[in-house]
Structure 1
Amino acid sequence: MSLLSVKDFTVSLRNRDVLRDVSFEIGTGEFVGLIGPNGAGKTTLMRAALGLLPFTGSSNLATLSENARARQAAWMPQAREIAWPVTVETVVMLGRTPYLSSIQNPADHDRKAVDDALDWMELTEFRHRDATQLSGGEQARVLIARALAQETPLLVADEPIAGLDPAHQISTMQTFAALARTGKSSLVSLHDLGLAARHCTRLIMLGNKGLVADGKPADVLTDRRLAEIFGVTAWFQDTDKGFVFQPLEVLQ
């Protein structure tokens, strides 16, 4: 089953092509890392695929109504700051909005979804705290929890581990990997190639206004592509603790 299908996808902003002729599909049970240098179009691709930016080509999600789309894909943008002086629990409950009318109170299954999301992100003890009083990293975890509470087949997240400390970066990546094992999928833009290589089941690399590579991390992160697209060298090895990847030097 295809949760996201984009075909011949071209996006232009301010009369300039950002992406040209990109095609790929995401099925069930995948943790897909979207990688590429700054300006490669990662955010643009995700926003356009969700119908938030104009494009040419096709996206199965962009054709859905807003409510139907919100039941198929949860979206977590880069913006992290929470502006509302409400509790963490209230923010996470917003993830249940696609399932509730304006006059409908949350049911037991809605509250369970929130409880589970808070537990996933190690936020249970924060549930009654004012979300605006949390640190930036803690607010980021709250917003990931809100997306998890939406309980969609697909989660689309733009740099969700940016600003998190190493322990919470790893635990968040483990959360996405665990979701994949339950049959749900995630498309996550990442700058940390080491974490992407270690935790993602698949990588999509963008560069030169298009799709450069799509496949298993060890197949995508080749010396040639790292040099051409990122301008770096790296050390990587498949170990008994999994695939380990470390960028080393900038090429001159």
Structure 2
Amino acid sequence: MTLLSVENLGVSRRGRPVLQDVSLQVAEGELVGLIGPNGAGKTTLMRAVLGLLPHSGLSSLAQLSPRDRGRRVAWMPQSREIAWPVSVETLVTLGRIPHLAPGQRITEADRSAIDRALARMELQDFRQRQATALSGGEQARVLIARALAQETPLLMTDEPIAGLDPAHQISTMRAFAALAAEGRAVIVSLHDLGLAVRHCSRLIVVDGGRIVADGPPLSVLTPDRLRASFGISAWFQDTDQGPVFQPLEVLG
């Protein structure tokens, strides 16, 4: 089942095109890595798909009402500011708002969703901790848990593993892969090509405001594409512990 359909999407700022002719579909079971150099248009693409930026073309999500969109897709932006000194559990509970009628109290089903989100991000022991007192990496995990608690068919998250330690980078990507294996879909923007190759079922390369490659990781990250879009070389080995991809040198 298709969870997102985008056709000829474009975004302009001050009369200058920053995103052009983007078309893609995302189906159940996919973990899609959105990659590309800084300034390529990844965040713009995600925000436009969600209807958060004026755009041309069509996005199946942007056409929905805000309430319906909140039930179809969970969104975690790059910004990680937590403004209020609430408990971790309270903050994660906010992910259930799209599923509640005005004035409705959370149900046992909501509590179960919150428990699952805390467990996926290994935050069970943090429930009553004040969210604003946590480290930056811990706060990032709490915000991911809030998005997971929405339990939507599609999760979109912009650089969620930036600032996490290696263990939590890996566990977060594994959590996303588990969601895909359950029949949901995840679109994750990231810069770590090694983790992208190891965990994503599909990579989309954005460069210069356009999609320049889309497919399985090893068909996308060819030597020519690495040179053209990232200006690097890399080493790859398919090992008995899975694929290992390591960027090596900056190419002149």
TM-score between both structures, scaled by the size of structure 2: 0.99
The aligned counterpart of 1:57 is 57
Whether the 8 Å CA contact 2:35–2:204 is kept in 1: the answer is yes
Residues 1-252 of structure 1 correspond to what in structure 2 (within 5 A)?
A: 1-252=1-252
Structure 1 residues 123-176: Cα deviation after superposition (integer angstroms, max 9, x where no partner): 000000100000000000000000000000000000000010000000000000
CA–CA distance in structure 1, aligned partners of residues 81 and 98 of structure 2: 22
CA–CA distance in structure 2, aligned partners of residues 231 and 181 of structure 1: 33
CA–CA distance in structure 2, aligned partners of residues 201 and 129 of structure 1: 35
CA–CA distance in structure 2, aligned partners of residues 9 and 2 of structure 1: 17
Q: Secondary structure at the match of 2:170?
A: helix
How much has 1:11 moved relative to structure 2?
1.1
CA–CA distance in structure 2, aligned partners of residues 127 and 104 of structure 1: 22
CA–CA distance in structure 1, aligned partners of residues 50 and 115 of structure 2: 27
Q: Secondary structure at the match of 2:163?
A: coil
CA–CA distance in structure 1, aligned partners of residues 137 and 195 of structure 2: 17
Structure 1, 189-198 or 14-23: larger mean CA deviation: 14-23
Whether the 8 Å CA contact 1:81–1:136 is kept in 2: the answer is no
CA–CA distance in structure 2, aligned partners of residues 115 and 183 of structure 1: 20
How much has 1:47 moved relative to structure 2?
0.3
How much has 1:242 moved relative to structure 2?
1.2
Q: Secondary structure at the match of 1:106?
A: coil
CA–CA distance in structure 2, aligned partners of residues 159 and 144 of structure 1: 11
Structure 2: give runs of 5+ residues left out of the alignment: none
Q: Which letter does structure 2 place at the counterpart of 1:182?
A: E
Q: Secondary structure at the match of 2:79?
A: coil
Q: Which letter does structure 2 place at the counterpart of 1:118?
A: L
Q: Secondary structure at the match of 1:63?
A: coil
How much has 1:243 moved relative to structure 2?
1.3
Structure 1 residues 84-127: Cα deviation after superposition (integer angstroms, max 9, x where no partner): 11000000000000011331110000001000100000000000
Structure 1 residues 24-51: Cα deviation after superposition (integer angstroms, max 9, x where no partner): 1000010000000000000000000000
CA–CA distance in structure 1, aligned partners of residues 199 and 105 of structure 2: 37
Whether the 8 Å CA contact 2:41–2:208 is kept in 1: the answer is no
Whether the 8 Å CA contact 1:22–1:211 is kept in 2: the answer is yes
Structure 1: give runs of 5+ residues left out of the alignment: none
CA–CA distance in structure 2, aligned partners of residues 15 and 243 of structure 1: 43
Whether the 8 Å CA contact 1:27–1:185 is kept in 2: the answer is yes
The alignment of Structure 1 onto Structure 2 pairs a total of residues equal to: 252
TM-score between both structures, scaled by the size of structure 1: 0.99
Instruction: Work out the percentage of aligned pairs sharing the same amino acid.
Output: 67
CA–CA distance in structure 2, aligned partners of residues 133 and 194 of structure 1: 31
Q: CA RMSD in A?
A: 0.7
CA–CA distance in structure 2, aligned partners of residues 102 and 92 of structure 1: 18
Which stretches of structure 1, 4 residues or longer, exceed 3 Å deviation after superposition? none
CA–CA distance in structure 1, aligned partners of residues 103 and 20 of structure 2: 44
Q: Which letter does structure 2 place at the counterpart of 1:224?
A: D
